[in-house]
């Protein structure tokens, strides 16, 4: 799929790996100037440098989305470098430690809610301040199939991802008349380093079982999420806001 983001500026969090990296590359290839932000600053800067070497304007920034000051600084540096902010993909996320609620720790709950939900509110807050002043913008938040269904031993993650959809719908309503659209993507099983980590942590059988439950019979690729994000940020989705688009091979249709 090809879109034009010429003269536009895109920001991606969690951009050093997986879905975020694929989306940052897709934005760059579509003509956007791109900020790649990640907890791992060196990896974000290396990925940005690869884009610059290929002829695309990009910067890499270290940003822990659990930290308000770092989020503010990320947006400030993006606008200072490229002059505006048109599209933001709030993508950074982590898994919870697998455990029944009765056995889970409050620390893991707080950690997952902080990185997967509170960060989306916080990123949107400062992105929207800029977009409101600019008079335009598009935001896509990364939820999950876990934002649509429950998951045994995954309550912390699923609670956070359900929350992302509530934030998305509410923000979409607030800005619907102000030329700012807010949507979410709900990836299914997408093979990324996050899934490699789950396999390494002993979840290989669970992942294989999940693939069998996918109507299309295969896992997804990060580029397939990037295509959905670019569509949601492009003018070709100009009448779409507040939606949570599943990109999951039909998983939640069962």
Q: Which residues bind ligand NAD (CB under 6 A)?
A: 13-14, 16-20, 38-40, 63-66, 91-94, 115, 142, 144, 187, 189-190, 192-195
Q: How would DSSP label each residue in 233-253?
A: HSGGGTT--S-EEEESTTGGG
Question: In angstroms, what is the minimal distance from the CB of 59 to ligand NAD?
Answer: 15
Sequence-separated contacts (24+) of 163-169 with Cβ below 8 Å: 163/113, 163/117, 163/120, 164/116, 164/117, 164/120, 165/244, 167/117, 167/120, 167/121, 167/124, 167/141, 168/141, 168/143, 168/242, 168/244, 169/242
35 is written with which tokens?
């900020």
Cβ proximity to ligand NAD, 163 vs 187, nearer residue: 187
- Pairing state between β 180-187 and 137-142: parallel
56 is catalytic: no
Question: In angstroms, what is the minimal distance from the CB of 66 to ligand NAD?
Answer: 5
Question: In angstroms, what is the minimal distance from the CB of 239 to ligand NAD?
Answer: 26
Q: Report d(CA 186, CA 172) in Å as an integer.
A: 16
Q: How would DSSP label each residue in 56-75?
A: --EEEEE--TT-HHHHHHHH
Question: In angstroms, what is the minimal distance from the CB of 135 to ligand NAD?
Answer: 28
Q: Which residues are catalytic?
A: 157
């Amino acid at each position: 799929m090809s879109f034009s983001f010429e003269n536009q500026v895109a920001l991606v969090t969690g951009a050093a790996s997986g879905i975020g990296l694929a989306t940052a590359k897709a934005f760059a290839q579509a003509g956007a100037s791109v900020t790649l932000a990640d907890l791992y600053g060196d990896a974000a800067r290396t990925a940005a440098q690869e884009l610059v070497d290929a002829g695309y304007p990009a910067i890499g920034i270290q940003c822990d989305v659990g930290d308000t000051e770092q989020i503010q600084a990320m947006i400030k540096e993006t606008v200072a470098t490229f002059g505006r902010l048109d599209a933001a993909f709030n993508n950074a996320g982590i898994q919870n430690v697998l455990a029944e609620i009765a056995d889970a720790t409050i620390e893991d709950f707080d950690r997952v809610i902080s990185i997967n939900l509170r960060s989306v509110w916080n990123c949107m807050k400062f992105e929207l301040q800029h977009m409101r002043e600019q008079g335009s913008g598009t935001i896509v938040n990364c939820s999950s199939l876990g934002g649509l269904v429950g998951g045994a031993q995954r309550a912390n993650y699923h609670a956070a991802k359900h929350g992302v959809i509530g934030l998305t719908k509410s923000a979409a309503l607030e800005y619907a008349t102000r030329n700012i659209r807010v949507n979410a993507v709900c990836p299914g099983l997408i093979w990324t380093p996050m899934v490699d980590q789950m396999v390494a942590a002993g979840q290989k059988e669970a992942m294989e079982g999940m693939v069998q439950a996918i109507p299309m019979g295969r896992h997804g690729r990060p580029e397939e999420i990037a295509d959905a994000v670019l569509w949601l940020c492009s003018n070709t989705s100009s009448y779409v806001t507040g939606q949570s688009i599943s990109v999951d091979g039909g998983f939640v249709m069962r």
